[in-house]
Amino acid sequence: MEFIALDYTTLRVIWWLLLGILLVGWAVMDGFDLGVGTLLPFVAKTDEERRLVINTVGPVWEGNQVWLVLGGGAIFAAWPPLYAVSFSGFYLAVFAMLFGLILRPVGFKYRSKLPSKRWRDNWDRVLFVGGLLPGLIAGVAVGNVLLGVPFHFDDTLRVTYTGSFFGLLTPFALIAGLISVAMLVSHGAAMLVLKTDGPVAERAARYGSIAAIISFVLFAAAGAWVAFGLPGYQITSQVVTDGPTNPLLKTAELGSAAGGWLRNYSSMPATLVFPVLGLLGALASAVLLRARRGGLAFIASGASIAGIILTVGFAIFPFLLPSSSQPTSSLTVWDSSSSHLTLWVMLLATAIFLPIILAYTTWVYRVLKGKTTVEDMDDNPNAY
């Protein structure tokens, strides 16, 4: 169609980049909500302090989840085979993640309905699980992407997943899950230091700096594991970037030597900025949290999150989801997208609505800037 200006290859790359941006957006914007929930039992000792912690994210957590919806929608619309394989193969893992995300709003809404200490303590535990579980599961999923997932297509492109939930819990995947938890906890701690004062901010700075250091150490360890222990996958046939959506039209295999996932960093040295950003951002966050510089720590932890996520994305490119049981069935950017027209129409819609979302989000945070205090909670009948 002549009115379509961008070629198929370019559109596929744009939507790969947009998927990465949406995932980073969710991890940065909703990640501090999850981190605050995970920190709740540790930084708040009294009911008043716990209410203070909850109300730092109370006005924004619902809006922040829009990024998760956008990410899931982008996978569904732009990469249908990826959606089909991951959401069906990872069914129990996705269910566990969604279970945690469902617990969170219920905990927010019901915690203050009764003055009973036992009632509120139980809902605080719910909020803790609702913060910890999604971040952990998301990290484990990313770890399994690097390892490869056991699925294959038959001649009719019907997918079969041959793994299990507990099969996802390998040592490398669990390290990836712990990296996810640590980076989100440090991010949540930065928000608490930014939005609160007193003992809550002091405890948040202490725990957050520890989490940032753990994130640095585990990310470095995972990088060494990838370099010296994981061979990575590679396409062995001619690469057709504008071909039809059919993973079986190519051939692929597991590499024969460790460090295969680092090929892109050798051919595109500029991409090394992302792992460096992941490491330095974590260290800077730890230092800034110790110095009680909440705003700068938040920027540093957000940069670290972006660096860690983009490190994985650029390492595995053009793969989206490698298959460990039949590498030829692996999903790549070049053979797993929607049609040319679909990607173009979606891009036009994104160009219109994404700036609106960003503008609205900026306005909300501008209105809500400043510290959250006990006086604010007492004066606001809608406070949690």
Return the pLDDT at 58.
85
Segment 203-230 mean pLDDT: 96
Average pLDDT over residues 150-175: 92
In a domain, 384, yes or no: no
Length of the chain as a residue count? 384
Q: What is the pLDDT of residues 274-328, one digit of tens each?
A: 999 999 999 999 999 999 999 999 999 999 999 999 999 999 999 999 999 999 9
146 close to 311: Cβ distance less than 8 angstroms: no
The contacts found for 158-166 with CB under 8 angstroms, 24 or more apart, are 159/81, 159/84, 159/85, 159/88, 159/89, 159/329, 161/85, 161/88, 161/89, 162/325, 163/89, 165/92, 165/93
pLDDT at 2 over 60: no
Structure letter (DSSP) for residue 323 = B
pLDDT band at 1 (very low <50, low <70, confident <90, very high): very low
pLDDT average, residue stretch 48-62: 90
Q: How far apart are CA 38 and CA 366, in angstroms?
A: 25
Whether residue 3 lies inside any domain: the answer is no
- What is the phi/psi pair of residue 321, to 5°? -150, 100
Whether residue 365 lies inside any domain: the answer is yes
pLDDT of residue 50: 93
Whole-structure pTM value: 0.93
Instruction: Quote the pLDDT of residue 91.
Output: 87
C-alpha count within 13 angstroms, C-beta hemisphere, residue 232: 24
List of residues 6+ apart from 252 with CB closer than 8 A: 233, 234, 235, 236, 237, 322, 327, 328, 330, 332
Range of lowest pLDDT (63-77, 143-157, 299-313, 364-378): 364-378
Q: How many domains does the chain have?
A: 1
Model pLDDT, residue 3: 47
Token pair, residue 221, equals: 């360890």
**Strand residue runs (E) in the chain:** 151-153, 159-161, 233-235, 252-254, 319-321, 331-332
The pLDDT assigned to 376 comes to 75
Helix (H, G, I), strand (E, B) or coil at 149: strand
The mean per-residue pLDDT over the stretch 70-76 comes to 90
Give the pLDDT band (50/70/90) at residue 257.
Answer: confident
Does some domain include residue 1?
Answer: no
CA distance readout (Å), 212 to 19, 29, 215, 302, 373: 26, 17, 5, 11, 26
**pLDDT of the residue at 147:** 95
Give the residue from 302, 303, 226 showing the smallest Cα distance to 32: 302
Mean pLDDT of 114-121: 91
Please report which confidence band the pLDDT of residue 130 belongs to, taking 50, 70 and 90 as the band edges.
very high
pLDDT at 88: 84
CA distance linking residue 215 with residue 179, whole number of Å: 5
2 in any annotated domain:
no
Q: Give the residue-averaged pLDDT of 179-201.
A: 95
Tell me which residue range forms the domain holding 98.
8-379
Indicate the SS3 state at residue 163: coil
CA distance 27 to 179: 13
d(C-alpha 13, C-alpha 6), whole Å: 11
Confidence of residue 75 (pLDDT cuts 50, 70, 90): very high
What pLDDT is attached to residue 139?
95
Q: Which residues lie across from 159 on neighbouring strands?
A: 153
Confidence label for 62 from pLDDT (cuts 50, 70 and 90): confident
Query: pLDDT, tens digit, for every residue of 349-383?
Result: 999 998 998 999 899 888 888 888 888 777 777 77
Residue 305 CA to residue 212 CA, distance in Å, equals 11
* Mean pLDDT, residues 260-275 taken together: 93
Residue 24: is its pLDDT beyond 60?
yes
At 149, phi and psi to the nearest 5? -115, 135
Q: What is the pLDDT of residue 336?
A: 94
pLDDT band, residue 112 (cuts 50/70/90): confident
Span 329-358, average pLDDT:
93
CB atoms within 10 A of CB 142: 21
How far, in Å, are 84, 97, 154, 173, 185 from residue 31 at the CA level? 25, 13, 38, 19, 8
One-character DSSP codes across 359-381 = HHHHHHHHHT-S---HHHHHH-T
d(CA 128, CA 209): 19
Local confidence band at 149 (pLDDT 50, 70, 90 cut-offs): very high
Question: How far is 130 from 14, CA to CA, in rounded Å?
Answer: 33
- Tally of helices (H runs) and strands (E runs) in the chain: 15, 6
* CB contact at 8 A, 276 and 307: yes
CB 222 within 8 A of CB 176: yes
Is the pLDDT at 203 greater than 60? The verdict is yes
Q: What is the mean pLDDT of residues 171-186?
A: 97
